[in-house]
Amino acid sequence: MTLDGETAALKAAKPKGKRKAGGGRPRKYTDEATVCLRKVWAFYDFQCGTLPAPLMRLQMPVLEGSETFGITQETAAKLI
């Protein structure tokens, strides 16, 4: 990169400190629920969460009855 006719080098700053291990929010979904949610997300053509969420609530009895998604009653309760 040149600046006022002189070559300038860009350099990233070093991180200020270490990140905490294990920080962040606790998990909301189990691994089983995450797998089912990904299948439903693909079924809804990978739309953002605001569009499929109301559809999932309305269609959960149908989705739960389908063997394709593998949704149990416990998983359905978490996804709703």
User: Which positions ≥6 away from 9 have C-beta within 8 Å?
Assistant: 1
Whether residue 12 lies inside any domain: the answer is no
Share of the chain above pLDDT 70, in %: 96
In angstroms, the CA 1 to CA 77 distance is 55
pLDDT category at 1 given cuts 50, 70, 90 is low
Count of domains in the chain?
A: 1
pLDDT digits (tens, 9 = 90+) for 43-65: 888 888 788 888 888 999 998 88
pTM of the model: 0.62
Whether residue 51 lies inside any domain: the answer is yes
Domain with 59 in it: 28-80
Whether residue 19 lies inside any domain: the answer is no
Residue 22 tokens, joined: 């294990």
Whether residue 40 lies inside any domain: the answer is yes
In angstroms, the CA 21 to CA 76 distance is 31
Q: Do residues 72 and 80 touch, judged by C-beta distance below 8 A? A: no
